[in-house]
Amino acid sequence: MTGPIDLARVRADFPILDESIHGKRLAYLDNAATTQKPDRVLRALDAYYRHQNANVHRAVHELAARATAAYESARERIAAWLNASRDEIVFTRGTTDAINLVARSFLGPRLSAGDEVLLTTMEHHSNIVPWQLAGAKTVAAPVNERGELDIDAWRAMLNGRTKLVAVGHISNALGTINPIAELIAEAHARGIPVLIDGAQAIAHESVDVRALDVDFYAASAHKFYGPTGFGFLYAKREHLEAMPPRDGGGDMIRTVAFDGSTWNDVPYKFEAGTPDISGAIGAAAALDYIGALGLAAIATHEHAVLDYATERMRSVPGLRLVGTAARKSGILSFVMDKAHPQDIGSVLDMAGVAIRTGHHCTMPLMARYGLSATARASLAVYNGTDDIDQLIDALRTVNRLFA
């Protein structure tokens, strides 16, 4: 597809959007949690299990050859999407697993007492807890009232104890798009490596790891219309070569003996055991789908819906948006004077509107705003102004019910 997004055609690609929820049309606005899957991905998964199902790298029969070719083709596709080399792409269970791998295999062996990882206040728990488990002290730069990173404060926090900078490309709770190119350059000027949590970005932003010169970039397939339980870590080859494996088992070894073992080449030394073969194939199909629509067209469409939603939500009495950064992706967190986020979510569900409520795995960020939770509507390519109208009607029902 070229040119502007044809919303009706896109929606026809997603069978689940035909579901009726409590007798109402489904307005799915929980895409920051997980996206729905297009026919292209569903067909790829079905074709694998019907015609290719076998283990990879371990047999010479035809099905194994088909499975291995499809699996490694997925690695090539992901590498090309990021402008990386195939041997710099490690398959993981998702963003969380990828960050834990870097924490244990890269950062952990380099830590001394008092060493720090510099974060931002808007980080997901998955970009906080793994560094703590590795033994690092986590420190976080502040965000302003609009949800934007205070870059001067962040810069001032870089010091001789900073062993890694880790930052989300896009905040899952606020939608803030962080200036990662600037942050990476600032950190590298001081010799500090950088990890970017890209979970919320791949379906919305172009990512060129070479141009960014980023050390690590992690993402999850289910955030970009692919299957759950699969993701990847991009890492510079020099880091992968120096890192010890985290997990032991089949496929990550070169030789095994009772007096010691040796490791496979990268990236395979980090991929112990039978992998999520179908997940890789589904992720590649999802990238093909995004590529066919065009990231630029997707961004234009989503930002138009975001602008419409922002204006309409500001017209709802007693509603306050949390996160109004100048550079923002399609995420709208909000609170209402008369209802708790959990109650908002329940009323919206009865109106066929799916949103997320809670702390969004960002407890430190919620504390910064003096909140325990927000309600969050998040956009994808299949959302339109009719979804927003349905949301607004339901929010007005919330005000009536809790008046």
Token readout for 346 is 């329940």
The answer to whether 107 is a known catalytic residue is: no
Rounded-to-integer distance, Cα 173 and Cα 122, Å: 8
Rounded-to-integer distance, Cα 195 and Cα 192, Å: 10
Rounded-to-integer distance, Cα 266 and Cα 264, Å: 7
Helices (H) and strands (E) counted in the chain, each on its own, are 14, 17
**Closest Cα partner for 35 from 178, 218, 219, 186?**
219
**Are 108 and 240 a contacting pair, CB within 8 Å?**
no
Q: Which of 361, 363, 371, 392 is catalytic?
A: 361
Rounded-to-integer distance, Cα 334 and Cα 321, Å: 4
Q: Per DSSP, which regions of 124-225 are E strands? A: 137-141, 162-168, 194-197, 216-220
**Closest Cα partner for 357 from 29, 24, 25?**
29
Which positions are annotated as active-site residues? 361
